[in-house]
Chains A and B, each alone.
Chain A
Amino acid sequence: EDKVVQSPLSLVVHEGDTVTLNCSYEVTNFRSLLWYKQEKKAPTFLFMLTSSGIEKKSGRLSSILDKKELSSILNITATQTGDSAIYLCAPIQGAQKLVFGQGTRLTINP
Chain B
Amino acid sequence: NAGVTQTPKFRVLKTGQSMTLLCAQDMNHEYMYWYRQDPGMGLRLIHYSVGEGTTAKGEVPDGYNVSRLKKQNFLLGLESAAPSQTSVYFCASTVDGSYGYTFGSGTRLTVV
On A, residues with C-beta under 8 Å from B are 4, 6, 9, 31-32, 34, 41-43, 45, 48, 88, 90, 92, 95-103
- Tell me the interface secondary structure of chain B in the complex: loop
Assembly CA distance A98 to B35 (angstroms): 10
Contact pick for B103, options A32, A43, A95, A96, CB 8 Å: A43
Q: Which of B63-112 touch A at CB < 8 Å? A: 90, 92, 94, 96-99, 101, 103-106
Are the CB atoms of B42 and A102 closer together than 8 Å? yes
A102–B99 CA distance with the chains assembled, in angstroms:
21
Q: A6-B42, A42-B103 are in contact. List 10 more A-B contacts (CB 8 A).
A: A4-B42, A31-B98, A41-B105, A41-B106, A45-B101, A90-B43, A92-B98, A96-B31, A96-B98, A97-B48
Which of A45, A48, A88 meets B42, CB within 8 Å? A88
For the complex, is B22 an interface residue (Cβ under 8 Å from A)? no
Q: Could you name 17 residue pairs across A and B whose Cβ atoms are closer than 8 Å? A: A9-B40, A32-B98, A32-B99, A42-B105, A42-B106, A43-B90, A45-B101, A88-B42, A88-B43, A90-B43, A96-B50, A96-B96, A97-B48, A97-B58, A98-B33, A101-B42, A102-B41
- Interface pair B101/A34, CB less than 8 Å apart: yes
User: Which A residues touch B44, using CB under 8 A?
Assistant: 100
| Distance A24 CA – B33 CA, assembled complex (angstroms) | 23
Alpha-carbon distance between A70 and B105 when the two chains are bound, in angstroms: 30
How many residue pairs, one in A and one in B, have C-beta atoms under 8 Å apart? Answer: 54
Most buried by A among B40, B42, B96, B106: B42
CB-defined contacts of B92 to chain A, threshold 8 Å: 98
7 closest A-B pairs (Cβ-Cβ)?
A96-B97, A100-B42, A42-B103, A100-B43, A102-B42, A103-B42, A41-B105
